[in-house]
């Protein structure tokens, strides 16, 4: 038997330790350990005796050499007999660098910086992580060489740790990466690379609140975040997939709608944030009460954006300033959450069954309607929590109140910080110092520490020196004339407005006519100014804090007027004809709807849906205007542009209601426009169960396409009609229409051909031809994918899965359907995801797993209530056959138990269950 030479290891992280075959060797006291450590730092290199003396003893008499030789002699005569050499050129530790933890860490860090990290190096870095636990040379103190040696070792550990963290993030090992970085970040609080990786790892682990807290701690430590870290903070708040490492809906992601993205960190307010968190933990209704401009909205947004999936599954924020009467509140909420009808029962169904946060912002002017809505929704929506912001409480049983006061008195320092932050934006280089501090405090006192008023005042430092600003405020703000805090804000707005040029005030009164957020393109297309470009003027108003930036979700930056500012300018005299502005608004919004609607059949569908969501209040205003003007073309453009959006979002009630209003406008419109509007009306009517009307609309659309020579319109209409005829048992007519549709679409864009072939595949299935159906559907999926037309691709996938189930190919059906669910969720198409999951339930029975099928049916039924989607109602015998197959394989008790389990699942859990098939 061959004997292996002993293995020697020397550790410098933690206590200095030498081990031979894992047995610790006795080195002696502090000085012998210091000598070994100093030699280990340069293992393999001779260290001259005088240098070793300086590094261990410092300035010492020559006689200390005798002491050095004595210590070395004892080490060589004892545990380090074969590891320590001495001669005229000095002393040398003969250990290989790979036997010393600090040297291995340094070498691995060097290799990680010089080339891509392969699997072997990644494994070595993970192994070394255990070695670098503990402080370098932890058991030594007072020796001159320690400071330099420790700094070098810590830097090597940092480089290696960052390399390992990057590997883990690339592999998706986010939680492990965050654990490894926590201690490193505490040691290096001002290192941008460390903070970037730690915050990214935390965010990707679903711990966005911890990620933001880490960045805020770094800001407190360093005074300000670097531009890169500030950008990272904003991107985490926006839940950007590139930062979170997500490409689809996951259990770790909070789904947010209407929750704006803060562009700057929140200053102070820690007690209020903590109070809000405690209140939410104790009650389902919380009201933030405070004066206008005090920061209620900013506070609740910060709270919402910091929440993770441990608290909320979904978050919705309704800005009530866009309604002027209480009876409009249900309609606003229905539009926001995607309820099919504008009544509280439908809204409650949409919000029920998951942990949902609904924020009702700026409720004071419709308090009675909000009170009624809150009582009803909380009584009927399981899992719902509501946070209201208002100048007064609702007075409902169970309501928790969090009062938000101004930043005055003992909190004046926070007001000063807000003023300084905003001042630095308008006047770069401004700072609060000995010369300016008292003047800034005077501004804050004059404005009662109200954040919005402070922002307005600070924005004027671009034209007013600080002393002049103070004098102007003191002359222009009569606190006695106002009513408490609200009077201070109203005076501040009036003071700021008085400093505007006439053309700026004129533009502000135009911007106050928008009922929702707007883009600069909308400003350019709708607003007019004799003084120049309205867009450039709007940018100037942003700098003056009169126009707020709400974020850039979906790739478009949007702007709005805060409630108090909009109310002020809405009451100002108009120097322009309001009706002409509304007419320009209707025309521009109609073009916008058509443009965005056209993108819904491309890879840009998601940002187009987001744009239409944000523009909904102004699109409704535009339709009101078109109807009032009696303009049928405008009304049909507004309907046709949004029809697919309503269909995909499940907003059938809103869509059908808009259809009735638009088509009721008398007059004529271009035939292609009439036809495309009819296509949209067909989708909404069919999905709502009105097949008779749907087929009437589609045939009229085909006629208009033929008369106007619009081949794409005629092809899509004929293909849909052919599919309907196949279902009605008229194969001859169906095949004739489909043949013409395919011929017409030969030179059409890929999305048109994809939709025609999808209908063709459905027709073939309806005629009992599975092989032909699968071939046609494969073409449909390929064409839709080429165009980026995700909905058509998903629909063709769904029908393919049903065909495979028809012929008993369960495993193949699962292989097609399961990725389709993830794709539908990634493209914000929950109803398609539910349809695919229902089909997967049918496939489960074919694979001998009927319990999985029944569980999926339970999930589909429970989640379908929220989206007003019932597969049996919509799909009829198709969907029922899947359920019959599963029910036949289980006794009634087992089916009911499995179905009940499914009712508690969300989409991510359902996907995980489907993965077991």
| pLDDT tens for each residue of 620-667 | 999 999 999 999 999 999 999 999 998 887 778 889 999 999 999 999
CA distances from 45 to 85, 94, 97, 274 (A): 10, 8, 11, 58
**Eight-state DSSP code of residue 365:** G
Contacts of 854 (CB under 8 A, 6+ apart): 841, 886, 887, 890, 894, 895, 898, 899, 902
Q: What is the pLDDT of residue 2?
A: 43
Q: Is the dihedral of CA 295, 297, 300, 304 positive or negative?
A: negative
Cβ burial, residue 806 (10 Å; 0-12/13-18/19+) = middle
Average pLDDT over residues 735-745: 94
Cα separation, 874 vs 283, in Å, equals 38
Specify whether the CB–CB gap between 821 and 914 falls below 8 A: yes
CA angle 58, 63, 68 (to 5 degrees): 65
Q: Which residue has the higher pLDDT, 784 or 865?
A: 784
| pLDDT tens, residue by residue, 108-155 | 998 888 677 877 787 788 778 767 777 899 889 899 999 999 999 999
Residue 228 confidence (pLDDT) above 50: yes
Give me the number of domains the chain comprises. Answer: 5
Q: What is the pLDDT of residue 255?
A: 79
Residues 289 and 393 in one domain: yes
| pLDDT tens, residue by residue, 23-79 | 778 888 889 999 999 999 888 888 998 899 999 998 877 778 888 888 888 888 887
Q: What is the pLDDT of residue 812?
A: 87
Specify whether the CB–CB gap between 222 and 190 falls below 8 A: yes
Residue 410 confidence (pLDDT) above 90: no
Q: What is the pLDDT of residue 807?
A: 92
Residues 456 and 513 in one domain: no
Cα separation, 280 vs 398, in Å, equals 11
| pLDDT tens, residue by residue, 351-369 | 887 789 999 998 988 999 9
Q: Which residue has the higher pLDDT, 807 or 23?
A: 807
Q: What is the pLDDT of residue 288?
A: 93
* 20 backbone dihedrals φ, ψ, rounded to 5°: -115, 115
Question: Is residue 627 domain-resident?
Answer: no
Would you state the torsion angle of the CA atoms of residues 156, 158, 161, 167, taken in this order, to the nearest 10 degrees?
-100
Average pLDDT over residues 500-518: 92
Question: Is residue 303 domain-resident?
Answer: yes
Specify whether the CB–CB gap between 654 and 648 falls below 8 A: no
Q: What is the pLDDT of residue 391?
A: 87
**Eight-state DSSP code of residue 340:** S
| pLDDT tens, residue by residue, 118-128 | 777 877 887 78
Q: Which residue has the higher pLDDT, 632 or 179?
A: 632
Question: Is residue 98 domain-resident?
Answer: yes
- Residue 439's SS3 state is helix
| pLDDT tens, residue by residue, 424-482 | 877 777 888 888 888 988 888 888 888 888 888 888 887 788 888 888 887 764 433 34
Residues 835 and 895 in one domain: yes
* 18 backbone dihedrals φ, ψ, rounded to 5°: -115, 130
Share of the chain above pLDDT 90, in %: 34
Residues 353 and 382 in one domain: yes
* 70 backbone dihedrals φ, ψ, rounded to 5°: -65, -45
Residues 8 and 148 in one domain: yes
Cα separation, 747 vs 752, in Å, equals 9
Q: Where does the pLDDT of residue 696 fall: very low under 50, low under 70, confident under 90, or very high at 90 and above? A: very high
Specify whether the CB–CB gap between 244 and 206 falls below 8 A: no
Number of Cβ atoms within 10 Å of the Cβ of 589: 26
Cα separation, 388 vs 361, in Å, equals 6
Relative orientation angle of helices 810-826 and 830-846, to the nearest 10 degrees = 160
CA angle 556, 559, 561 (to 5 degrees): 165
21: left (phi over 0), alpha (psi -120 to 50) or beta: left
Q: Which residue has the higher pLDDT, 750 or 44?
A: 750
Residue 345 confidence (pLDDT) above 70: yes
Specify whether the CB–CB gap between 684 and 659 falls below 8 A: yes
Q: What is the pLDDT of residue 239?
A: 64
Which of 576, 611, 637 is the last residue in one of the domains? 576
Max CA pair span of the chain: 114
- Least confident range from 223-227, 641-645, 672-676, 911-915: namely 223-227
**CATH code of the domain in which 546 resides:** 1.10.10.10
Cα separation, 77 vs 69, in Å, equals 12
| pLDDT tens, residue by residue, 815-854 | 889 888 888 887 778 888 999 999 999 999 999 999 999 9
Question: Is residue 50 domain-resident?
Answer: yes
Cα separation, 440 vs 243, in Å, equals 38
Question: Is residue 76 domain-resident?
Answer: yes
Residues 13 and 158 in one domain: yes
Residue 247 confidence (pLDDT) above 70: no
Secondary structure element (H or E) that encloses residue 177, with its range: helix 174-187
Secondary structure element (H or E) that encloses residue 877, with its range: helix 877-888
Return mean pLDDT, the chain: 85
Which of 403, 427, 448 is the last residue in one of the domains? 403
| pLDDT tens, residue by residue, 714-725 | 999 999 999 989
891: left (phi over 0), alpha (psi -120 to 50) or beta: beta
Radius of gyration of the chain (CA): 35
Residues 11 and 148 in one domain: yes
In 3D space, the residue among 794, 812, 805, 803 whose CA is nearest the CA of residue 764 turns out to be 803
Secondary structure element (H or E) that encloses residue 714, with its range: helix 711-727
Residues 519 and 430 in one domain: no
Residues written for the chain: 917
Q: Which residue has the higher pLDDT, 182 or 47?
A: 47
pTM, entire model: 0.64
Cα separation, 869 vs 847, in Å, equals 26
Number of Cβ atoms within 10 Å of the Cβ of 657: 16
Q: What is the pLDDT of residue 214?
A: 81
Reading the block at residue 566, the tokens are 């909009």
In 3D space, the residue among 396, 365, 403, 367 whose CA is nearest the CA of residue 284 turns out to be 396
Cα separation, 734 vs 728, in Å, equals 9
Q: Is the dihedral of CA 19, 25, 26, 31 positive or negative?
A: negative
Residues 271 and 385 in one domain: yes
Residues 13 and 160 in one domain: yes
CA distances from 736 to 721, 726, 767 (A): 11, 11, 13
Range(s) of the domain holding residue 278: 256-403
Q: Which residue has the higher pLDDT, 878 or 890?
A: 890
Question: Is residue 794 domain-resident?
Answer: no
Cα separation, 147 vs 156, in Å, equals 14
**CATH code of the domain in which 329 resides:** 3.40.50.300
Question: Is residue 86 domain-resident?
Answer: yes
Secondary structure element (H or E) that encloses residue 736, with its range: helix 731-744
Average pLDDT over residues 86-103: 85
Q: Write down the number of H helices and E strands in the chain.
A: 44, 13
Question: Is residue 749 domain-resident?
Answer: no
Specify whether the CB–CB gap between 292 and 483 falls below 8 A: no
Residue 493 confidence (pLDDT) above 50: yes
Residues 815 and 836 in one domain: yes
CA distances from 693 to 676, 689, 759 (A): 16, 9, 19
| pLDDT tens, residue by residue, 583-623 | 999 999 999 999 999 999 988 888 898 899 889 889 999 99
Reading the block at residue 517, the tokens are 């957020």
Residues 122 and 18 in one domain: yes
* 14 backbone dihedrals φ, ψ, rounded to 5°: 85, -155
| pLDDT tens, residue by residue, 518-554 | 999 999 999 999 888 999 999 888 888 788 877 666 6
Q: What is the pLDDT of residue 514?
A: 94
Strand partners, 463: none
CA distances from 561 to 338, 445, 550, 620, 882 (A): 25, 25, 10, 19, 52
Which of 403, 424, 446 is the last residue in one of the domains? 403
Cα separation, 543 vs 505, in Å, equals 15
- Residue 93's SS3 state is strand
Cα separation, 39 vs 45, in Å, equals 8
Pairing of strands 548-551, 558-560: antiparallel
């Amino acid at each position: 038997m061959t004997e292996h030479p002993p293995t020697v290891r020397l550790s410098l992280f933690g206590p200095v330790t030498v081990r031979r075959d894992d047995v610790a060797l006795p080195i002696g006291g502090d000085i012998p350990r210091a000598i070994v450590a100093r030699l280990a730092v340069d293992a393999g290199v001779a260290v001259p005796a005088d240098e070793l003396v300086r590094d261990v003893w410092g300035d010492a008499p020559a006689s200390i050499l005798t002491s050095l030789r004595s210590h070395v002699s004892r080490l060589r005569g004892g545990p380090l007999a074969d590891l320590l050499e001495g001669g005229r050129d000095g002393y040398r530790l003969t250990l290989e660098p790979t036997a010393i933890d600090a040297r291995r860490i340094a070498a691995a860090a060097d290799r990680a910086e010089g080339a891509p990290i392969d699997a072997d190096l990644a494994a070595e870095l993970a192994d070394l992580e255990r070695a670098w636990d503990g402080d370098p040379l932890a058991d030594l103190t007072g020796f001159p060489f320690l400071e330099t040696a420790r700094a070098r070792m810590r830097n090597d550990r940092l480089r290696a740790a960052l390399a390992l963290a990057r590997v883990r993030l690339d592999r998706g090992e986010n939680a492990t990466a965050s654990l490894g970085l926590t201690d490193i970040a505490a040691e290096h609080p001002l290192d941008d690379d460390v903070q970037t990786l730690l915050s990214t790892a935390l965010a990707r682990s679903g711990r966005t609140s911890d990620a933001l807290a880490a960045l805020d701690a770094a800001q407190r430590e360093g005074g300000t975040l670097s531009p890169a870290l500030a950008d990272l903070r904003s991107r985490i708040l926006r839940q950007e997939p590139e930062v979170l490492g997500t490409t689809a809906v996951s259990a770790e992601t909070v789904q947010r709608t209407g929750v704006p993205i803060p562009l700057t960190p929140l200053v102070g307010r820690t007690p209020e944030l903590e109070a809000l968190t405690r209140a939410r933990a104790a009650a389902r209704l919380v009201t933030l009460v405070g004066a206008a401009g005090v920061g209620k909205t900013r506070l609740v947004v910060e709270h919402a954006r910091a929440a993770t999936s441990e608290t909320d599954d979904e978050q919705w924020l309704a800005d009530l300033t866009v309604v002027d009467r209480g009876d409009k509140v249900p309609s606003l909420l229905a539009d926001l959450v995607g309820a099919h009808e504008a009544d509280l029962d439908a809204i409650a169904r949409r919000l029920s069954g998951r942990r949902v946060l609904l924020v009702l912002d700026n409720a004071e002017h419709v308090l009675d309607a909000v009170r009624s809505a809150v009582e009803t929704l909380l009584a009927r929506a399981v899992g719902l929590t509501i946070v209201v912001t208002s100048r007064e409480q609702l007075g409902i049983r169970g309501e928790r109140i969090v009062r938000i006061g101004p930043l005055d008195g003992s909190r004046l320092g926070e007001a000063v910080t807000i003023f300084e932050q905003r001042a630095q934006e308008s006047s770069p280089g401004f700072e609060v110092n000995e010369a300016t501090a008292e003047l800034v405090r005077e501004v804050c006192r004059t404005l009662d520490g109200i954040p919005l008023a402070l922002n307005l005042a600070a924005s004027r430092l671009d034209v007013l020196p600080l002393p002049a600003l103070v004098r102007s405020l003191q002359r222009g703000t009569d606190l006695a004339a106002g009513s408490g805090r609200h009077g201070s804000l109203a005076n501040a707005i009036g003071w700021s407005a008085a400093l505007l040029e006439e053309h700026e005030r004129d533009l502000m009164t135009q911007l106050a006519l928008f009922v929702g957020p707007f883009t600069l393109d909308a400003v350019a297309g709708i607003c007019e100014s004799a003084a120049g470009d309205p867009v450039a003027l709007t940018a100037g108003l942003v700098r003056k804090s009169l126009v707020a930036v709400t974020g850039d979700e979906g790739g478009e930056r949007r702007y709005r007027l805060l409630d108090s500012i909009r109310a002020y300018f809405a009451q100002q005299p108009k120097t322009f004809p309001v009706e002409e502005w509304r007419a320009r608004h209707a025309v521009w919004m109609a073009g916008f709807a058509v443009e965005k609607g056209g993108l819904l059949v491309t890879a840009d569908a998601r940002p187009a849906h987001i744009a239409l969501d944000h523009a909904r209040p102004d699109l409704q205003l535009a339709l009101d205007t078109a109807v009032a003007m009696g303009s049928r073309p405008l009304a049909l453009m507004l309907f046709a542009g949004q029809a697919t959006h309503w269909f995909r979002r499940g907003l059938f009630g809103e869509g059908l209601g808009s259809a009735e209003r638009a088509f009721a406008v008398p007059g004529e419109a271009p035939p292609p426009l009439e036809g495309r509007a009819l296509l949209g009306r067909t989708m909404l009517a069919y999905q709502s169960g009105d097949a008779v009307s749907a087929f009437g609309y589609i045939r009229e659309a085909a006629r208009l396409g033929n008369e106007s020579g619009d081949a794409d319109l005629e092809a899509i209409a004929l293909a849909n009609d052919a599919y309907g005829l196949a279902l009605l048992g008229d194969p001859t007519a169906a095949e004739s229409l489909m043949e013409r549709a395919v011929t017409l679409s030969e030179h059409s864009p890929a999305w048109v051909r994809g939709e025609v072939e999808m209908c063709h595949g459905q027709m073939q299935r309806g005629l009992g031809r599975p092989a032909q159906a699968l071939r046609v559907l494969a073409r449909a999926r390929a064409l839709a994918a080429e165009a980026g037309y995700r909905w058509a691709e998903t629909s063709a996938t769904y029908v393919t899965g049903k065909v495979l189930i028809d012929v008993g190919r369960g495993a193949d059906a699962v292989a097609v359907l399961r990725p389709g669910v993830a794709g539908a969720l990634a493209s914000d198409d929950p109803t398609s995801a539910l349809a695919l999951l229902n089909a997967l339930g049918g496939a489960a029975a074919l694979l001998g797993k009927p319990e999985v099928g029944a569980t999926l049916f339970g999930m589909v039924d429970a989640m379908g209530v929220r989206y007003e989607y019932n597969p049996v109602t919509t799909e009829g015998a198709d969907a029922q056959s899947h359920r019959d197959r599963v029910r036949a394989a289980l006794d009634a008790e087992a089916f009911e138990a499995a179905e009940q389990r499914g009712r508690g699942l969300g989409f991510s859990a359902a996907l995980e269950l489907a993965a077991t098939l």
